[in-house]
């Protein structure tokens, strides 16, 4: 991990400083951070209940792009509404489109990871003309399968708890997440886990809403209609969004998709195979018309 950290530091310095701001989008403040200059790349984080910080500094090494990281409504440092029933896929899509227009980005490359990949699929179906390219990383088109996560007795018990009962507070969700997320890696690094935890602004209410939305999420009929060039990313040790029901199925449905599978990663290949992930993204971005 020491060598990767050094590489990341150098890449981050090359990308330039980050600028954090808020924008009033659809009547709520959305927090975003921009890094670099060039082709606009908007990044959608997963969770829900997490924020954009787990991508950094891992993706900051991309060159000739302006990366726009942001926190979904009700997540991270974006506004937390009084009524979390406002959090729907339609609202998340509308907020992303509102932010794109607010920043006057023109056509963007959209990266969605995990739950952010769910939102990215819905965005691509609703706004294909806004996209230059689409990246769907470690995600699925419908949650109709059993995850293949395995871990200690404590981890498996906590996994059952978080998916069967609502979290009671941000601290409760954070404690649960920091147990189950260890199973999301091929090789969990406690030092990295501690750093991610320290940087994350948790939202238990967003997590609770996210589970409910999964019951109706299904893009199987929408994906064949999305013609934008798409990079679909899977990982061999991803037990929460395995390659077969995820990357393979998405690639088979989309007319202009290509798939890359990272052989030595779990759910976060940009953390476990940072240099290869960033280079793969860079080559694909550079190859877009």
Per-residue pLDDT of the chain (289 residues; tens, 9 = 90+): 223 333 343 334 344 566 779 999 999 999 999 999 999 999 999 999 999 999 999 999 999 999 999 999 999 999 999 999 999 999 999 999 999 999 999 999 999 999 999 999 999 999 999 999 999 999 999 999 999 999 999 999 999 988 888 999 999 999 999 999 999 999 999 999 999 999 999 999 999 999 889 889 999 999 999 999 999 999 999 999 999 999 999 999 999 999 999 999 999 999 999 999 999 999 999 999 6
**Angstrom distances, CA of residue 35 to CA of 5, 12, 270:** 18, 9, 17
Taking alpha carbons only, the member of 123, 129, 104 closest to residue 40 is 104
Contact 109, 133 (CB under 8 A): yes
Question: Which two tokens mark 124?
Answer: 């691509």
Provide CATH code, domain 2-286.
3.40.50.1820
Residue 42 phi/psi, 5° resolution? -95, 135
Domain limits, the chain: 2-286
What is the C-alpha to C-alpha distance for residues 124 and 222, in angstroms, rounded to an integer? 9
What is the C-alpha to C-alpha distance for residues 165 and 180, in angstroms, rounded to an integer? 15
How does DSSP assign 216-264, residue by residue? T-B-TTTGGG--S-EEEEEETT-SSS-TIIIIIHHHHH-TTEEEEEETT
How does DSSP assign 74-119, residue by residue? TSTTS---S-GGG--HHHHHHHHHHHHHHTT--SEEEEEETHHHHH
Reading phi first (left if > 0) and then psi (alpha if -120 to 50, else beta), residue 136 is in beta
pTM for the model stands at 0.92
What is the C-alpha to C-alpha distance for residues 146 and 126, in angstroms, rounded to an integer? 28
What is the C-alpha to C-alpha distance for residues 45 and 40, in angstroms, rounded to an integer? 16
Question: Strand 39-44 vs strand 108-113: parallel, antiparallel, or unpaired?
Answer: parallel
What is the C-alpha to C-alpha distance for residues 253 and 223, in angstroms, rounded to an integer? 6
Q: What is the pLDDT of residue 4?
A: 34
What is the C-alpha to C-alpha distance for residues 209 and 103, in angstroms, rounded to an integer? 28
Question: Which two tokens mark 284?
Answer: 């694909």
What is the C-alpha to C-alpha distance for residues 82 and 204, in angstroms, rounded to an integer? 13
What is the C-alpha to C-alpha distance for residues 163 and 143, in angstroms, rounded to an integer? 13
């Amino acid at each position: 991990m020491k060598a990767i950290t050094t590489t990341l530091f150098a890449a981050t310095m090359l990308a330039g400083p980050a600028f954090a701001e808020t924008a009033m989008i659809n009547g709520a403040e959305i927090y975003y951070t921009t890094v670099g200059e060039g082709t606009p790349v908007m990044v959608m984080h997963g969770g829900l209940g997490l924020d954009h910080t787990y991508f950094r500094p891992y993706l900051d090494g991309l060159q000739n792009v302006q990366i726009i990281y942001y926190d979904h409504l009700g997540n991270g440092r974006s506004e937390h509404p009084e009524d979390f029933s406002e959090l729907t896929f339609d609202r998340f899509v509308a907020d992303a489109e509102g932010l794109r227009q607010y920043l006057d980005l023109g056509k963007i490359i959209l990266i969605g990871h995990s739950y952010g990949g769910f939102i990215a699929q819905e965005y691509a179906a609703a706004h294909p003309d806004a996209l230059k390219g689409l990246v769907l990383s470690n995600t699925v088109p419908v949650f109709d399968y059993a995850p293949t996560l395995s871990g200690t007795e404590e981890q498996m018990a906590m996994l059952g708890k978080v998916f069967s009962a609502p979290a009671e507070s941000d601290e409760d969700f954070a404690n649960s997440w920091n147990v189950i997320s260890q199973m999301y890696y091929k090789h969990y690094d406690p030092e990295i886990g501690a750093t991610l935890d320290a940087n994350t602004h948790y939202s238990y209410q967003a997590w609770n809403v996210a589970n409910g939305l999964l019951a109706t999420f299904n893009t199987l009929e929408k994906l064949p209609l999305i013609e934008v060039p798409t990079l679909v990313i899977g990982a061999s040790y991803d037990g929460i969004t395995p390659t077969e029901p995820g990357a393979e199925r998405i690639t088979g449905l989309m007319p202009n998709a290509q798939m890359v599978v990272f052989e030595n990663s779990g759910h976060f290949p940009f953390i476990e195979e940072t240099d290869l992930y960033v280079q793969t993204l860079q080559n694909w971005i550079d190859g877009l018309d």
